[in-house]
A = this chain, B = another copy of it.
Amino acid sequence: MNISVFGTGIVGKTIASKLITLGHTVMMGSRTSENQEAVKWANENGGNAKHGTFTVAAEFGGIVFNCTKGEFSLAVLKSVGEKILSGKILIDVANPLDFSKGMPPTLSVCNDNSLGEQIQKAYPGTFVVKTLNTMNCGVMVDPSKVKGKHDVFVSGNEVEAKTKVIGLLQSFGWVSPIDLGDITTARGTEMILPLWIRLWGVLKTGDFNFSIARND
């Protein structure tokens, strides 16, 4: 599959590299066509690893991973525009973390809205699926990094798009992703970030994850 990954940070690179190992052709998108991180990543990941501007990358992929920082996500998508994003699946991995008031960060949107919903509302023709935003990126692409059974959540309005995304998650090693419902359920997963951050402080590692203990 042709997949775009927006963002050249650790999350973008980790997901993009995993997609390459799974046989996909991946274009890493960034603000400029010759972003050093994107060029380096493409050089290191073989012929199926490409790079380009956000717009060029968005045109390339049928699926777009949003791995930009939450504070920039809406501006990045705006720079691409509704026409190019229409009809595509946008997998939103970002969290609306606001570091401007010091540590620990707060959320710039929460409670009666979420970044996932903001994106879906701005791009009604795009199939936004929120997932993977509740764990660190090493665990996102390799759930076996954390012992035992643990969970990934999926939120989105379109069943068909979620089915495709769940298939992709399964190829990452997630056996049974939990479909929470429509995109408004992204509020719930974005709002566990403050607890994730505190647990990171207590456990002194990011290699942990939320698991939903249940009797079935």
Binding site for B on A (CB under 8 A): 101, 106-107, 110-112, 146-150, 153, 178-181, 185, 187-189, 191-192, 194-199, 201-203, 205, 207-216
A178 and B202 contacting across the interface, CB-CB below 8 Å: yes
Smallest Cβ-Cβ distance to A199: which chain B residue: B212
Give complex CA distance A191, B216 in Å.
26
Instruction: Verify A148–B213 contact, CB threshold 8 A.
Output: yes
* Chain A contact residues: helix, strand, loop or mixed: mixed
- What would be 18 A-B contacts, judged by CB atoms less than 8 Å apart? A107-B111, A111-B194, A146-B214, A180-B198, A180-B199, A188-B196, A188-B197, A189-B195, A191-B192, A191-B195, A203-B216, A205-B214, A205-B215, A207-B214, A209-B213, A210-B213, A211-B212, A211-B213
Compute how far the CA of A180 lies from the CA of B207 in the bound complex, rounded to whole angstroms: 17
A203 neighbours in B (Cβ, 8 Å): 212, 214, 216
Contact of A101 among B112, B146, B198, B212 (CB under 8 A): B112
**Bound: A203/B205 CA distance, A:** 30
- Distance in angstroms from A181 CB to nearest chain B CB is 6
Q: Within the complex, which residue of B179, B188, B194, B209 is in contact with A188, where a contact is CB–CB below 8 Å?
A: B194
Complex contact B201–A212 (CB within 8 A) = no
Question: Which B residues touch A110, using CB under 8 A?
Answer: 110-111, 191
Q: A147 — which chain B residues lie within 8 A by C-beta?
A: 213-215
Among B179, B192, B202, B212, point to the contact of A180 (Cβ < 8 A): B202
Q: Give A178 to B208 CA distance when docked, in angstroms.
A: 14
**Do residues A208 and B214 form an inter-chain contact, with CB atoms below 8 A?**
yes
A213→B149 contact, CB < 8 A = yes
**CB-CB nearest 10 A-B residue pairs:** A188-B195, A150-B213, A211-B211, A208-B214, A188-B194, A191-B191, A211-B213, A188-B198, A180-B198, A185-B198
With a cutoff of 8 Å between Cβ atoms, the chain B residues found around residue A207 in the complex are 214-215
